[in-house]
Copies of this chain bind each other. A is one copy, B any other.
Amino acid sequence: MDLGRLSLNQITTERLSLSEAVAACQRHSIGHIGVWRHKLGGKEILRDSGLSVSSLCRGGMFPALTVTERQACIDDNLRAIDEAVSIGAPTLVLVCGPAADRDISAARGMVAVGIAAIAGHARAAGVKLGIEPLHPMFAADRSVITTLAEANALAMQFDAAAVGIVIDAFHVWWDPDLYAGIARAKGRITGFHVSDWLVPLPDVLLGRGMMGDGVIELRRIREAVDAAGYHGPVEVEIFNRAIWDSDPDSVLTTMRERFDALL
């Protein structure tokens, strides 16, 4: 695919500081970067870097046992929106959070209430909230929103100018309703992430693979996302200890080649 759409999600080079990651993008002619809130130190460098920021990770984590805790989450999300503005990120990725107890249905309701509480500020700030359905293996510790169908139904309760969908191939590739879900998200997609699913899966959290090393039909999914009207940056987001321990320049070289050949 067009290398002009390639974005480095900062987590792929987890050991680099933001300024080191920016420099690596410049060396490898990568025009976009997705950044994480906990790695925003020295964010001023982004301004004159020539890079566009594709997204800020992450808001969300809405469910909690008490009203006080839920309000604290909402306040933190409002700050995250302001941080997105401060770095020119068009999208704040929402990882919606796990249930605080065993009641997953109630937690899903808390997610909807949480998004409702921040959607107005997002809209006013010009930042889109991107609901990212996570793989069901993260339902207990990261996100009760696990399918594109559910993310779509949730997003459609809100103004499309404020709430969209982020699709990560690693999280949704297995879904029998994947292509129907992508089509239904038309006009709402505000981010697309890629990596690969290794067989066997080396680790629940840190077992994602470089594109081409696993079983995901990346091109088919990318074409469906294109057909649903998303033409923005495509973030390569790889949580993988072995890749984190590798030389970042060699990781970025491989990432460019695979992106070019397989997406």
Contacts and interface: CB of A to CB of B under 8 A. Distances in A.
Interface of A: 98-99, 101-104, 108, 135-137, 139-141, 144, 146-147, 149-150, 173-176, 197, 199-201, 204, 214-217
Contact of A102 (B101, B104, B144, B215): B215
B204 A201 contact: yes
Contacts of A144: 174
Contacts of A101: 215
Contacts of A136: 135-137, 174-175
B137 A201 contact: yes
Contacts of A214: 140
A200 B141 contact: yes
Contacts of A108: 176
B137 A150 contact: no
A199 B146 CA distance: 17
Given A99-B215, A141-B200, 8 more contacts: A102-B217, A104-B173, A136-B137, A140-B215, A146-B175, A146-B176, A149-B176, A200-B204
A255 B147 CA distance: 33
24 contacts: A99-B215, A102-B216, A102-B217, A103-B217, A104-B173, A104-B215, A108-B176, A136-B136, A136-B137, A136-B175, A137-B137, A137-B201, A137-B204, A139-B174, A140-B174, A140-B197, A140-B215, A141-B200, A146-B174, A147-B176, A149-B176, A150-B176, A200-B204, A204-B204
Oligomeric state, in copies = 2
Contacts of A149: 176
A139 B137 CA distance: 12
Contacts of A147: 176
A101 B216 CA distance: 10
Given A174-B104, A176-B147, A140 B199 contact: yes
